[in-house]
Amino acid sequence: MIYLDYAATTPMSPEAIHVYAETAGSYYANTSSLHDPGTDASDLINLARVELARMLSCQKDGIYFTGGGSDGNFLALTSLARGNREKGNHILTSPMEHSSVMNTLSFLENEGFEVTVVPVDSYGQITEEALRQSIKDNTILATISHGNSEIGITQNLKMIGNILKEHGIMFHSDCVQTFGKLPVQAEEMNLDALTVSAHKIHGPKGMGAVYISPQLSIKPLLTGVTHERGFRQGTVNTPGVISFLAAASNQWNHMIEWNTHIDDLISQFLSLTSGLVQMVVERTASTLPHFLPIRLEGMEGQYAMLELNRRKIAVSTGSACKAGQQEPSKALMAIGRTADQAHELVRITLGRETTREEITTLAKALQELAERFYEQTGS
């Protein structure tokens, strides 16, 4: 099978698997236990906080380990909103957010918070004008993703962060898709909080981290929690944390080589498919390097995905779906595509294991698929 769905998840790296096994065998004690093995495990976790904080250019005391990106988004947003409610109840977001962010904001709306979705332009970007127009006197928090998970559009977090800082508004970003692929520098981007995940960068599933500036007030939903300084209940997954760190370090240290490899594959794909006139490539200058969101005009994205799967090529439609239950891409609709066009999305995402031979096979499969489809439909 040719795997081209790296935005959904990645295979664990050999280094991450090795570190997980070694840590599970040697540092199995509960980090909250007061005996020496517990202290050793706790010390190891704290070293991981220091190293992750270095990669994110943030303060180590603001690092909390979580159960992944969705878990982290929920914990961060609810804790920040509840911890600053006396200052206001208005939250800003964008139409490009992951479902875990939108679901959390719906939860907060039921708790009495008001949410405004800042519109994006035809390139998927939040503009300075749109952001300023959305800010109210009672705005306390903004959550804007660094990279969209459907079509890979990235936002200018530094510009957004500067404006929000002017107004004293807390700034959280879902950086799950960008960490390890683009620089994520919390202090330079004026980020007060962010979320990252392990399994997008060849680490274990069910493992992630949240950064929240120690200067901020937070109020987690649950009280009486002892783990992770009261931020999240449950025994800390020590082997998961250290395996995450091993994967993150490897990805972070080889970011330049990764980008060079991916750029070469993207160029190859675009060259091989240049004659496929019915294909629309939904990439812009701000698209994540490894994202290839495409549309074959008139062809349902799910049909294309299933046909490619039949040819042993794994891609995505950009949304979690089952056969016959696909929803149009919200990100494509946000940048002006029709619902029918948004239904055509096929999300191809590349990784470090992707080869030029696989790209050649993909291009050939798309050409054959298009020829047959348009011949049958008379398009």
At the topology level of CATH, where does 14-253 sit? Aspartate Aminotransferase; domain 2 (3.40.640)
The two tokens of residue 222 are 């649950």
Using DSSP bridges, classify how beta strands 170-174 and 139-143 pair: parallel, antiparallel or unpaired: parallel
Mean pLDDT along residues 202-211 = 98
pTM to 2 decimals? Answer: 0.95
The beta strands (E) that lie in 150-271 are given as 170-174, 193-197, 208-212
Domain ranges of the chain: 14-253, 254-370
DSSP state for residue 239 in the 8-state scheme: H
Average pLDDT, the chain: 95
- In whole angstroms, give the CA distance from residue 205 to residue 210: 15
| Cβ–Cβ under 8 Å, residues 199 and 68 | yes
Catalytic residue among 236, 255, 280, 321: 321
Say which CATH superfamily domain 254-370 falls into.
Aspartate Aminotransferase, domain 1 (3.90.1150.10)
Catalytic residue flag (residue 58): no
pLDDT by residue (tens digit) across 282-336?
999 999 999 999 999 999 999 999 999 999 999 999 754 334 456 899 999 999 9
- In whole angstroms, give the CA distance from residue 335 to residue 329: 10
| Cβ–Cβ under 8 Å, residues 91 and 81 | yes
The two tokens of residue 232 are 């999240």
Rg, C-alpha atoms of the chain: 21
Please report the pLDDT score of residue 325 as a whole number.
54
Mean pLDDT along residues 230-257 = 94
